[in-house]
Structure formats: C-alpha cells, structure tokens
A and B are shown apart, each in its own frame.
Chain A
Amino acid sequence: MSNHELHLHHEVAPGDEEEINVSSRVLGYVIGLGLALLLTATSFFIAGTNLVWEPSIPVAIIVLAIAQMGVHLVFFLHITTGPDNTNNVLALAFGLLIVFLVLGGSLWIMSNLNQNNMVPMDQIMQMQR
C-alpha cells in the first residue's frame, strides 16, 4: 500500500458518497425515501388519531420529526460518522448547538416571562381600588 493510495479518500464533500456503483446508490436513495415516507405517515396518523394517550402526541411528533431529519441527513445528504466526514459532522454539530440554544432559550425565557407577568385578575382589581 503506498501513501498515495492511503490518502485517496482523505475527505469527502458533503453530499458526496464513496459508493460509485449506480445501482447501490439508487438503492440508498430508495431506502431513504421509504423510511422518510414511513415516518411521515406515522406522524400524520398520530396527529389525527385518538388511539394513543393524548399528552404524548406532541412529544411523539417531535421525536418522529427529528428521526426523519436524521434519515434525510444520512440517506440524502450523505453525512456520515466516517473519518472522511469529520469536518462536515463538526460543522453540523456546531449548527445544531446554535439551533438548540436559539429554540430552547427563546421558549424557556418567554414562558418564564409569561408566568411572571401573569397576575390574577382579582389582584389587579384590588390594586385599582
């Protein structure tokens, strides 16, 4: 094994696959499409059914959505955990950190403010007297 051979697959661009064989690449997209359709159908089914315990529905929909985003990342965008993908995964991880800070932080702060500003109506009436 020469050094040149070793570095042939040093990195891949996001979206690129190592696989060159056309039929197995098509199969990868078909598997991704099947999984995505399955998760989408489950989401829509759960949203419209009374078969499951109702308070669990929002959590289930969010979990299914995250799972489907994962399917898209792996099968369509070809972001893998392989050593050739380190840069892409690290950028993704940083992006996700910011996304969770923005989403979690906004929801947390706004619900906190909502609770603190929620003064019962009779107290307001007493203050006006």
Chain B
Amino acid sequence: MSMVAVTAHGHSLGIVEHPGPASKRIITGYGFWIFLLSDIIMFSCFFAAFAVLMGQTAGGPTGAQLFELRNVAIETIALLLSSFACGMASIAADVRNQFWFQVAMVVTAVLGLAFLTIEFREFASLIARGAGPTRSAFLSAFFTLVGCHGLHVSAGILWLFTMMAQVYAKGFRADIQRRMLCFALFWHALDIIWVAVFSVVYLLGSMA
C-alpha cells in the first residue's frame, strides 16, 4: 500500500506498471488536439502577414475608416455565447440527454449563423465601398485572415448539423461521442482564434 502511494505521487521510483494503451477516446481527442494546434499555427502565419501589412494601405482606406466596432462587438458576443451553448451540448451528450443536446446544438447553430451573417454583410459592404481585397495589401491580408476564420466557422456549422443528425439517428454511441468531443474542441478553438482576430485586426487595426 505504501509503495503504491509513493509511486502515485512521487513518479521517482518508476515502479508503476505499464497502464496499457490509452482508450480510443483519449487517442482520438489527442490526435484532434494536434490537428487544432497545426490549424492555429496556420492562422499565426496569416496573423503575421496581417501585422506586417497593416500599414500598407496604398493610399486606400485604413482600418480606422472601415471598421465598425459595434458590429464586431455583436459578432464577438454571438460567437462567445455559441461556444457556451456548445459546452452545454457536450454536457448533454455526456449524460445522454437527447432533448437538451438538440436544443443546445440549435442554439449553437443559430448564434454561429448570426455571426456569419454579420461577417458576410460586413464583407459585402466593404467591397461595395471599393475596399475589396484587391484595393491594398492591408485589405488583402484582412480578407484572407478574417475570411479564413469565417470559412472555418462555416465548415463548423456543417459539421454541427451532421452531429445533430447523427445523434438523432444513431443515438449516443461511443463513436458518435468521440466525434462530438472533436466537434466541441473545434468550435471552442474557433472562438480562441476569434479573440485574436477582434483584438489584433479590429481593435488594434482601427487605431492604426
């Protein structure tokens, strides 16, 4: 007993027997976590490009003239609440409650779609005002970075509806639960990237 207690806390003796391969849920989650980190590294390249090109407006409009921070605040709150609703869906999936799972997923989807709608209207109004991605290096970097995040959110919403259908049709099987774990990770990671987007692109960009 005492030997076991020491190995549990000390790690130094190395007597702990090999616990065997990790469960499939841990391996799947870990693999998806590594994918997410590689996705974040890809975004960091877009962020680096944006930071370098932020001042290169080629005589065109600057961020301070273009960005409407009120819309960005609404987008931020929509995505944050959507992330929260996704957390509620994860809990409902863990306790296998079909009704609350579907409710939470619908809320997640509605908030995500609200975010996408505001973003799409912003892009459309920028292009209508002659501030499209071809206007300056600053705007090219802006559309690439924010558009790439928007594409990720769109793909996430397709995945979300797939998860709702799968849980509805197949129930909370172990493989469906693993997919749900990955989806929740993906959705929360998108919110983390959005934190960087609204801080660096919109708040810092509208000051420069």
A95 / chain B contacts, CB cutoff of 8 Å: 37-38, 40-41
A76's contact among B47, B188, B198, by CB below 8 Å, is which?
A: B188
A22's contact among B47, B48, B91, by CB below 8 Å, is which?
A: B91
Interface residues on B, range: 35 or more
Contact with A along B17-58 (1 / 0, CB 8 A): 101001001101110111001101100110111011000000
Roughly how many angstroms separate A11 CA and B24 CA in the complex, as a whole number? 12
Do A10 and B30 have beta carbons less than 8 Å apart?
Answer: no
Segment 55-100 of A: residues with Cβ below 8 Å from B:
57-58, 61-62, 64-65, 68-69, 72-73, 76-77, 87-88, 91-92, 94-95, 98-99
Q: Considering the complex, give the chain B residue whose CB is closest to the CB of A106.
A: B48
Instruction: Knowing A15-B184, A29-B88, A72-B192 are in contact, say whether A10-B22 is a contact too (CB < 8 A).
Output: yes
Interface residues on A, range: 35 or more
B80 / chain A contacts, CB cutoff of 8 Å: 33, 36-37, 40
Roughly how many angstroms separate A25 CA and B100 CA in the complex, as a whole number? 15
Q: B203 an interface residue at 8 Å Cβ cutoff?
A: yes
Q: A6 an interface residue at 8 Å Cβ cutoff?
A: yes
Do A44 and B203 have beta carbons less than 8 Å apart?
Answer: yes
Segment 25-59 of A: residues with Cβ below 8 Å from B:
25-26, 29-30, 32-33, 36-37, 40, 43-44, 47-48, 57-58
Do A57 and B25 have beta carbons less than 8 Å apart?
Answer: no
Segment 90-119 of A: residues with Cβ below 8 Å from B:
91-92, 94-95, 98-99, 102-103, 105-107, 110
Is the contact region of chain A dominated by helix, strand, or loop, or is it mixed? helix
Contact with A along B169-191 (1 / 0, CB 8 A): 00000000000010011001101
Min Cβ gap A47→B in Å is: 4
B5 / chain A contacts, CB cutoff of 8 Å: 1
Do B84 and A10 have beta carbons less than 8 Å apart?
Answer: no
B44's contact among A15, A40, A73, A103, by CB below 8 Å, is which?
A: A103
A77's contact among B16, B95, B185, B199, by CB below 8 Å, is which?
A: B185
Do B188 and A72 have beta carbons less than 8 Å apart?
Answer: yes
B26 / chain A contacts, CB cutoff of 8 Å: 11-13, 16
Roughly how many angstroms separate A43 CA and B196 CA in the complex, as a whole number? 11
Min Cβ gap B2→A in Å is: 11
Roughly how many angstroms separate A31 CA and B151 CA in the complex, as a whole number? 29
Segment 85-121 of B: residues with Cβ below 8 Å from A:
87-88, 90-91, 95
Min Cβ gap B147→A in Å is: 20
Pairs across A and B, CB under 8 Å, 12 listed: A12-B26, A29-B88, A40-B198, A43-B198, A48-B69, A65-B195, A68-B195, A72-B83, A72-B191, A77-B188, A91-B33, A102-B48
Residues of B at under 8 Å CB distance from A? 1, 4-5, 8, 16-17, 19, 22, 25-26, 28-30, 32-34, 37-38, 40-41, 44-45, 47-49, 51-52, 69, 73, 76-77, 80-81, 83-84, 87-88, 90-91, 95, 181, 184-185, 188-189, 191-192, 195-196, 198-200, 203-204, 206-207
